[in-house]
Amino acid sequence: MVYKIFFALVLLSISVSCSFNADKDQNCDEDAVEPYELPDVLTLKNGEKIDRVSVWENKRRPQILNLYKKEIYGFIPKGIDKPLISKVLEQSDSALDNTAIRKQISLIYKAKGKELEIIVLLYLPKNTKNPPVFIGYNFYGNQTIIDDKHVILTNSWILNNPALGINDNRASEESMGTRNERWPIKKIISEGFGLATVYYGDIDPERCDFSDGIHPFFYKKKQNKPKGDQWGSISAWAWGYSRILDYLKKDEMTRKSKFILFGHSRIGKTSLWAGALDRRFDIVISNNSGCAGAALFRRKFGETIAKIHYNFPQWFCQNFNKYRNKEERLPVDQHMLIALIAPRPVYIASAELDCFSDPKGEYLSAYHATPVYELYGKTGLNDSIQPPLNKPIHNTIGYHLRSGRHGVTTYDWEQFIKFVKKHLE
Ligand code: GCU
Predicted pLDDT of residue 18: 53
Using alpha carbons, list the distances in angstroms from residue 182 to 245, 342, 422.
22, 28, 22
Mutating to test ligand 1, I would choose from 265, 267, 286 the residue with most ligand atoms within 8 A of its C-beta, which is 265
How many angstroms separate the CA atoms of 181 and 197, rounded? 15
Q: Is residue 367 one of the residues assigned to a domain?
A: yes
* The dihedral formed by the CA atoms of 364, 365, 371 and 377, expressed in degrees to the nearest 10: -100
For residue 421, give the H/E element and its range.
helix 410-424
Say yes or no: CB of residue 64 within 6 Å of ligand 1: no
The pLDDT tens digits of the residues spanning 220-243 come to 889 999 999 999 999 999 999 999
C-alpha of 405 from chain center: 19
Q: How many CA atoms lie within 13 A of 3 on its CB side?
A: 0
Q: Is residue 283 one of the residues assigned to a domain?
A: yes
SS3 135: strand
Average pLDDT over residues 77-101: 92
Question: What confidence tier does 210 reach under pLDDT thresholds 50, 70, 90?
Answer: confident
Predicted pLDDT of residue 23: 53
Ligand 1 geometric centre to CA of 200 (Å): 14
Q: 54: domain CATH number?
A: 3.40.50.1820
Helices 266-277 and 233-248: crossing angle, nearest 10°? 60
Residue 266 CA, closest ligand 1 atom number: 12
Determine contact, residues 402/409, Cβ cutoff 8 Å: yes
Q: Is residue 234 one of the residues assigned to a domain?
A: no
Q: Is residue 20 one of the residues assigned to a domain?
A: no
Say yes or no: CB of residue 148 within 6 Å of ligand 1: no
Q: Is residue 418 one of the residues assigned to a domain?
A: yes
**How much of the chain exceeds pLDDT 70, in percent?**
94
Predicted pLDDT of residue 284: 99
Predicted pLDDT of residue 209: 81
Helix boundaries (H) for 39-79: 53-55, 61-68
Which residue, judged by its Cα, is nearest atom 12 of ligand 1? Answer: 266
Comparing 138-147, 161-170, 207-216, the range with the smallest average pLDDT is: 207-216
Mutating to test ligand 1, I would choose from 269, 270, 303, 348 the residue with most ligand atoms within 8 A of its C-beta, which is 303
For residue 139, give the nearest of 125, 158, 118 by alpha carbon. Answer: 158
Residues whose CB falls within 8 Å of the CB of residue 352, separated by 6 or more in sequence, listed in order:
359, 389, 401, 402, 403, 404
Determine contact, residues 267/182, Cβ cutoff 8 Å: no
Q: Is residue 276 one of the residues assigned to a domain?
A: yes
The pLDDT tens digits of the residues spanning 10-66 come to 444 333 445 554 455 789 999 999 999 999 999 998 999 999 999 999 999 999 999
| DSSP tally for the chain: helices H, then strands E | 12, 10
How many angstroms separate the CA atoms of 198 and 185, rounded? 14
Question: What confidence tier does 6 reach under pLDDT thresholds 50, 70, 90?
Answer: very low
Mutating to test ligand 1, I would choose from 266, 269, 272, 305 the residue with most ligand atoms within 8 A of its C-beta, which is 266
Average pLDDT over residues 326-340: 98
Question: What confidence tier does 79 reach under pLDDT thresholds 50, 70, 90?
Answer: confident
Q: Is residue 400 one of the residues assigned to a domain?
A: yes
Residues whose CB falls within 8 Å of the CB of residue 146, separated by 6 or more in sequence, listed in order:
176, 177, 180, 183, 185
Ligand 1 geometric centre to CA of 54 (Å): 36
Predicted pLDDT of residue 112: 83
Ligand 1 geometric centre to CA of 26 (Å): 12
Write out the residue range of the structural domain in which residue 410 sits.
36-73+258-425
Question: Within 10 Å of residue 387's Cβ, how many Cβ atoms?
Answer: 14
Q: What is the DSSP letter of 162?
A: G
The pLDDT tens digits of the residues spanning 344-368 come to 999 999 999 999 999 999 999 999 9
Is 154's pLDDT higher than 80? Answer: yes
Residue 289 CA, closest ligand 1 atom number: 10
Catalytic positions:
265, 406
Predicted pLDDT of residue 8: 43
Is 82's pLDDT higher than 90? Answer: no
Question: What confidence tier does 113 reach under pLDDT thresholds 50, 70, 90?
Answer: confident
How many angstroms separate the CA atoms of 129 and 40, rounded? 43
Predicted pLDDT of residue 14: 37
Ligand 1 geometric centre to CA of 266 (Å): 5
Residue 406 CA, closest ligand 1 atom number: 13
Determine contact, residues 103/227, Cβ cutoff 8 Å: no
Ligand 1 geometric centre to CA of 224 (Å): 25
Number of domains in the chain: 1
- Judge residue 250's burial from the number of C-beta atoms within 10 Å of its C-beta, 0-12 exposed, 13-18 middle, 19 or more buried: exposed
Q: Is residue 365 one of the residues assigned to a domain?
A: yes
- What's the whole-number average pLDDT of the chain? 94
Which residue, judged by its Cα, is nearest atom 1 of ligand 1? Answer: 21
Question: Within 10 Å of residue 14's Cβ, how many Cβ atoms?
Answer: 14
Average pLDDT over residues 308-316: 95
Say yes or no: CB of residue 290 within 6 Å of ligand 1: yes
How many angstroms separate the CA atoms of 425 and 423, rounded? 5
For residue 100, give the nearest of 192, 227, 206 by alpha carbon. Answer: 192
